[in-house]
Structure 1
Amino acid sequence: CEFDACWDRHTAEGVVRKVLRFQPDMVLHAVQPHTRIGHYLFAPVDWQIARKCPVPVLFVKDRSWPERMRIVACIDPLHEGDRRAEQDKNLLNKTLALADGNHEMRVLHCYNTLPHDAIFDEHMVTDYEALQDKVERSHFKECNGILEEFGLSTSSDVVDIIKGESELTISNYAKHNNIDVVVMGAVARSVFDRLLVGSTMEYVVDHVDCDVLIVKHPDFVCPVSE
């Protein structure tokens, strides 16, 4: 084990520069709960590291791992504006590597359908149930398209497809299923977006007791140079 100390005006960028220099497989970063203001306005070092670091970042909580862990991979094949197929496959591969055949691996997908009050087209309101069913089928279809390469499907015992807001569903799932590590992707958001709707990653990290592994898209380009 080697130790390295350095000074940098920007802590997160200093960490990322060390990552670029030493090329580790993963960054372990101890994390504490954030205040609401610090969470949304001041972009804490934690979130900056998660967004800029080119390798997976494991947010470590004050909790030891058991001999046999429960690890859940959170996939999202229908996320708008993102090439999710590549990301979800990458995320599942990272989870398999972490499980290493010795730990229990699960897969979770959360999805939301349109609330009835949000539909203004009278024809769509009339056929609301059919619309909901169509949305649900599309989520199951896309998930199966990702999972089949890993010998899984939405009917597998280790796969859960749950209707609900992602941040709340993932947090509750981790708590009620005694999850030790949540593995999820990081979708880039602007500061304005985070002020309005926050970030699923940030919410989950702040609201679960277990560790959270953040995995970047395979085509991620690091904004920091060595």
Structure 2
Amino acid sequence: MNLRQLLVVIDPAQEPQPALERAVWLARHGGAALELLACEFEQNLDGSLLFDERQHEQARSALLAHRQARLEELAAPLRAEGLQVRTEVRWGRPLHRTILGRIEELKPDLVFKAATRNHGLLRRLLLGNTCWQLLRHCPVPLWLAHHGQWQGRRLCAALDPLHDADKPAQLDQRLIATARELGERLRMDAHYLHCHAPLPRSLVFDAELVATYDAYVERGNRQHRQAFERLLAPYAIPASHRHLEQGYPEEVIPRFVRDRQIDLLLMGAIARGHLDNALIGNTAERVLEALECDLLILKPQPWESSAARQ
């Protein structure tokens, strides 16, 4: 995973800044350059009848200058320690399109954004509309940071060796390679998880399958175990870090993350249908509803996506 340029989406009106914290942590380990991006839009300053165009322009300029000053405050101590940091402020809506526009211009290697701010004791990775839109459309890896305390000790790659979720095979290889690289670069303990669920006995209505249900379950377990072992065979991954779990991903993955105190979950996602209606996949969406850690989403390279659809 080539990490030379990181883009960090900043909400200048919010504290703390978990996305910036993660990006800085990564830059310190690898020397990547940072760009801090703030996007602003105010309906009353965009064609309101209360002001003429000159007043609109003055008010917009003042607001953007205020946001720029805040970004410079965040950048100053980072530059003082030797990091390369640029700042950029954009005017536009919706927010995700403005962010995607800057991604297209800058072509960063990784984008960081904080998830929706948690309130009270709720620790889940709450995703607002902008996060979901970036998950669907961001063309580069996307790191969503939650607002819980960051430990930076363990990461986990969620794999799908039988491609039940219709992911191209190369995506699992990218997940493994990225997990191994981040684990070494950031000194994080890297784990690898695959979970699967047989058809519940209560939903089996075929008489022959009912009679051989236990054999069906064992056959499925063996198939998934063999596929998981084949996928990881080329890598020197200890058995204690290979996890094959039985159960639905939306239940197993959040529980695994919580029980193993995972700080960063890597998942693969694909776009479905036309770009305007792209989804990252039902499994990933259900998992994210219950996740309690940071999330790094990887997508297939364009040629991999095309091959998967053929």
For Structure 1 versus Structure 2, the TM-score category normalised by the shorter chain is: 0.7 to 0.9
Change (3 A) 1:164 1:192: farther
Q: Say yes or no: does 1:182 pair with 2:258.
A: no
Preserved contact between residue 161 and residue 227 of structure 2 (Cα < 8 Å): yes
Q: Say yes or no: does 1:108 pair with 2:193.
A: yes
State the one-letter code of the partner of 2:284: M
Preserved contact between residue 77 and residue 143 of structure 1 (Cα < 8 Å): yes
Preserved contact between residue 135 and residue 297 of structure 2 (Cα < 8 Å): yes
State the one-letter code of the partner of 1:167: E
Task: Tell me how large the CA RMSD over aligned residues is.
Answer: 2.6
Post-superposition shift, 1:204? 3.3
Query: What is the number of equivalent residue pairs in this alignment?
Result: 207
Preserved contact between residue 47 and residue 202 of structure 1 (Cα < 8 Å): no
Residue equivalent to 1:55: 140
Residue equivalent to 1:123: 208
Post-superposition shift, 1:64? 4.1
Post-superposition shift, 1:217? 1.4
Q: Say yes or no: does 1:134 pair with 2:216.
A: no
Post-superposition shift, 1:218? 2.4
How many Å separate the matches in 1 of 2:133 and 2:141?
13
State the one-letter code of the partner of 2:290: H
1:149-192 per-residue CA deviation (whole Å, 9 max, x = no partner) reads 22347xx1101110111011110111111111111112435799
How many Å separate the matches in 2 of 1:192 and 1:70?
34
- Per the alignment, in what secondary structure is the counterpart of residue 24 of structure 1? coil
Q: Say yes or no: does 1:8 pair with 2:92.
A: yes
Taking structure 2 as the reference length, the TM-score comes to: 0.61
How many Å separate the matches in 1 of 2:197 and 2:143?
27
Residue equivalent to 1:145: 230
Q: Say yes or no: does 1:20 pair with 2:97.
A: no
State the one-letter code of the partner of 1:105: A
How many Å separate the matches in 2 of 1:209 and 1:83?
24
Post-superposition shift, 1:16? 1.7
Post-superposition shift, 1:207? 2.2
Taking structure 1 as the reference length, the TM-score comes to: 0.82
Residue equivalent to 1:224: none
How many Å separate the matches in 2 of 1:17 and 1:95?
28
Unmatched runs of 5 consecutive residues or more in structure 2: 1-84, 119-127, 306-310
How many Å separate the matches in 1 of 2:242 and 2:177?
15
Post-superposition shift, 1:83? 4.1
Residue equivalent to 2:255: 172
State the one-letter code of the partner of 1:78: L
Preserved contact between residue 76 and residue 84 of structure 1 (Cα < 8 Å): no
How much identity, in percent, do the aligned residues show? 28
Which of 1 and 2 has greater Rg? 2
Change (3 A) 1:145 1:8: farther
1:111-166 per-residue CA deviation (whole Å, 9 max, x = no partner) reads 0101112222111111111111111111111112211122347xx11011101110
Residue equivalent to 1:210: 293
Post-superposition shift, 1:20? 1.8
Post-superposition shift, 1:110? 0.8
Change (3 A) 1:173 1:48: same
State the one-letter code of the partner of 2:248: E
Post-superposition shift, 1:54? 1.1
How many Å separate the matches in 2 of 1:32 and 1:16?
18
- Per the alignment, in what secondary structure is the counterpart of residue 6 of structure 1? strand
Residue equivalent to 1:87: 171
State the one-letter code of the partner of 2:230: G
Change (3 A) 1:61 1:79: same
